[in-house]
Amino acid sequence: MAERSRSHNSQRMKGYVYILECSDGSYYTGSTIELEKRINQHKDGRGANHTKKRLPVTLVYVEEYLSITSAFEREKQIQGWSRAKKEALIDGKFDALPNLSECKNETNFKYYKEEK
């Protein structure tokens, strides 16, 4: 019963998904229930291994969610995106996001040519 209660409470906790720009220009995407505390942990070298090795880091993007579960799902979605798509999100170029989602290689159906 305790597991269900804990899970239910995590659904109610507000969550944040954030993107940090690291000193080498790479991006780190994470989620948390305490944004300021987590960002300070990253800045102090107490965050993820990726950011520890690439200090200093700068917060470049934040989204707020009603639950940490939703924020975590969004984190995983953004982590799968290309650098170009993350930069469009950071820059607020939301109209560009669908085009950046499309596969551009020869496996895309638009480029498929049937053999006769």
Instruction: Please report the domains of the chain, with CATH numbers, ordered by start residue.
Output: 2-104 (3.40.1440.10)
For the stretch 58-107, pLDDT in tens is 999 999 999 999 999 999 999 999 999 999 999 999 999 988 876 666 66
pLDDT for the residue numbered 105: 63
Answering whether pTM is above 0.85, one says no
Phi then psi dihedrals of residue 9, to 5 deg: -65, -35
Q: What is the pLDDT of residue 13?
A: 83
Question: What is the structure's pLDDT at 100?
Answer: 86
In the prediction, which pLDDT does 24 show?
A: 96
Mean pLDDT over 7-36 rounds to: 87
**What is the distance between the alpha carbons of residues 3 and 66, in angstroms, rounded to a whole number?**
20
Q: What is the pLDDT of residues 27-64, one digit of tens each?
A: 999 999 999 999 999 999 999 999 999 999 999 999 99
